[in-house]
Each structure stands twice: as C-alpha cells, then as structure tokens.
Amino acid sequence: MLEIFVLVEHRQGQIRDLTYEMLGLGEKLANQQGTSFAAILLGHDVKSFAEDLATRAPKVLVVEDENLKNFNSILYQQTLSSLISKYQPCLLLMGHSALGMDLAPSLSVEMEFPLATDCIGLSFEGARLKATRSIYGGKVNASVSLRESKGYIATIRPGVFSPKMVGEKKGGIVMESSPLQGMVDVKKFIEYIEAPITGEDITQAEILISVGQGIGGPEHIPLFEELAKNLGGTISCSRPVVDRNWLPKERQVGISGKTVKPKVYLAIGISGAFQHVTAMQGSDTIIAINKDPRAPIFGVAHYGIVDDFQNVIPVLKEKTKSWK
C-alpha cells in the first residue's frame, strides 16, 4: 500500500497547528490501511522544522529552495507534482486554509486526483476515499464518495482532528532535490500585511460582547456598546459584521481574525460557523442569544437564550446599569 503524504503548513517562521492535526489524521488513516505516512516540508532554511517534524512522523521529505521561502501556489504545485510522480502516494492531505485553498484544486486537476475539500472526516473503503463534509452552513453533514483513483487529495478543516504528539521514535529526514528552476513571473509574493490595532485589543478582554449578522444593522451597535460599558467588557463580532462595515476588522473573532479566550463570551445573533467557533471555543463561559434554536452556536455555548436579542439586551442593559 502506498504512503499518505501530509503537506506541512508554515508561515513567517512557524509551523501552523493544523500541520500537527493533519499528521494525527495521517497516522490514523495509515494505520487503518496498513501503510505509512510522511510529512512533506517545502521551504527555505527549514532544518529546525524538519527536526521537529521527525519527532512526530516516521519520515520527513524536505525540499529546500530559496524560492519556497514564502508560499506561492505555482511553485508549490510544481514541487508537489514532481514528488507525487516519484513516490505515488495514495493520499495527500493539506489544510483547508489560505494555503490549501489556493493549491489543492489546481494540483488536483493537474494530477487527475479527485479532491475532497474542507473534510471533517476521512476514511478508506477498500482503496476508495470517503469524506465527511459539513454543508449548508453546518446544518447537515454529507458523506461523499470519491471516484476510484490511484491517488486523492483532501483538504482538512482546522480544529477537528487531534494533533499528533511527539513520539518516542525519531523519523528519518530525506532531503529531496528541488525541481524548481527559479521564480515564475506570473505570480509573485510581495509582502505580508498586518493591520495595527487602533482600538481595544479583543484578545486581552475578560468579557466580550460579540455580535453577529443577526443584530440586523449597525444602528444597534450603540446598545451593545452601552452594555459592554456596564459589564466592563469589550465589543467583538463575527465576520459578516466586518464585511458590512458595522465594526472594524480588528474586532473580528474567527480564523481570519483573532482567537480569543475571555472569561465570559456573550454571542448575540451569531449563528456559529466553524470559522468563528474555532476561535472562541476556548472561552471559560459561552452564552449565546439567538432566535434560531437550531443555530450551531448552541452546540458550543454553555448557556443559551432562544429569543430575539431586542427582547433581552435592553432589559440586561438596564439591569446591569449599576455595575459600572
């Protein structure tokens, strides 16, 4: 049986957590299939990464090339297709992330490997890959069969699988020569952009009053600001609120925003998409207010109120006036 490849995700000098989750899944699938798994590390000056990965994977394949310093889908694709042709893995795992989403679909077309994206479950039935995906905004799970193929690609949802811990045996590090012949001019990385925080830092708040699309419009923001003042808390939000410019980006809790762990997280009108939940489920106490009793947020909250926020928040605001 052929190997399972796990594409290591790293950025700005750090291996991203999702890598360890994929190694955990890779090991589990490899055990089921009676095969082995390998971490695939592409980058420049990544020796220390290779050492770390060797404590968690039986094999680390490394391609060192200065052109792989920052992610570029074209260069990654060229490198991976050459490694795939050489080793013929039965499955390549990568993150359902900014990296994997930019790379997996085009590589899948080039290799003619069927692709399952954003997987929350994966298994083999014989040599055929089956995936579980969460669809319709998390309301339904779908079991998907992929067509028969000698190889598959799957992108993995962050925060779903248990990370691979450091093992006792150290894996081997195999240096592969780079198939790249310089940069490409059709797609060039220029720089990272990080917006400075101009207001309150939501990652430092002990109480977050977090609002979602369900609050209906920006005209309600002052109500939540007053409530935040009463509770000694800070306002944060989910993605649609930022998309609509009701609050600035620095207030966003989510995979593409900030990860928070306050003592109390009050989620109001937030449905609970996984991108949001992943970044707040470490909060000590989560309280959700939503009028949809089936909203996924109630699956992560400790306490819930099924009602329109307009029936609850004004009363809460009055009752907590004296707390200031």
Partner 1 sequence: MNIAVCVKRIPKTAEADIFIEKDGKDIKKDNLVFALNDWDGYAVREAVLLKEKYEGEVIVLTIGPEESKEVLTRCLAMGADRAVRIEAPSSSDGHLIAKILAQATKGQSFDLILTGVQAEDDGWGQVGVALAQLLGLPHASIVTHIEVENGKAKVRRELEGGIEELLEVKLPAVLTIQTGINEPKYVSLSAILDAEDKETKEVGLEEIGFTSKAPLDATIDQVSFPPTGKMAEILKGTPEEVVGQLTEIIKKKKG
Please give the residues from 22 up to 61 whose contact with partner 1 meets the rule CB under 8 A: none
Contact string (CB under 8 A) for partner 1, positions 230-249, x = contact: -xx------xx-xxxx---x
The answer to whether 192 contacts partner 1 (rule: CB under 8 A) is yes
The answer to whether 86 contacts partner 1 (rule: CB under 8 A) is no
List, in order, residues 6 or more apart from 293 with CB less than 8 Å away.
306
List, in order, residues 6 or more apart from 279 with CB less than 8 Å away.
253, 254, 255, 257, 258, 259, 260
Residue in 1, 142, 165, 175 binding partner 1, rule: CB under 8 A:
142
Question: Shortest Cβ distance from residue 149 to partner 1 (Å)?
Answer: 8
The answer to whether 258 contacts partner 1 (rule: CB under 8 A) is yes
| Strand, coil or helix: 297 | helix
Give residues 194-223 in contact with partner 1 (rule: CB under 8 A).
194-195, 206-207
The answer to whether 151 contacts partner 1 (rule: CB under 8 A) is no
The answer to whether 183 contacts partner 1 (rule: CB under 8 A) is no
Tokens of 304: 């819930």
**Cα within 13 Å of Cα(241), Cβ side:** 32
Pick the closer one to partner 1 by CB: 191 or 219: 191
Report the distance separating Cα 147 and Cα 56, nearest Å.
Answer: 31
Report the distance separating Cα 117 and Cα 121, nearest Å.
Answer: 11
Residue in 78, 79, 117, 178 binding partner 1, rule: CB under 8 A:
117
**Distance of CA 301 to CAs 92, 201, 213, 230, 268, Å?**
34, 23, 18, 22, 11
What is the DSSP code (8-state) at residue 116? E
Instruction: Find the part of the chain contacting partner 1 (CB under 8 A) among 41-49, 85-93, 126-134, 166-174.
Output: 126-134
The answer to whether 269 contacts partner 1 (rule: CB under 8 A) is no
Pick the closer one to partner 1 by CB: 117 or 178: 117
Pick the closer one to partner 1 by CB: 135 or 165: 135
Question: Shortest Cβ distance from residue 303 to partner 1 (Å)?
Answer: 5
The answer to whether 102 contacts partner 1 (rule: CB under 8 A) is yes
Strand partners, 115: 153
Give residues 296-315 in contact with partner 1 (rule: CB under 8 A).
298-307, 311-312, 315
Report the distance separating Cα 248 and Cα 263, nearest Å.
Answer: 23
Question: DSSP letters of 236-270?
Answer: EE-HHHHHTTSS-GGGBBSTTSB----SEEEEES-
Tokens of 12: 């700005």
Pick the closer one to partner 1 by CB: 67 or 97: 97
Residue in 31, 188, 201, 282 binding partner 1, rule: CB under 8 A:
188
Residue in 138, 156, 210, 234 binding partner 1, rule: CB under 8 A:
138
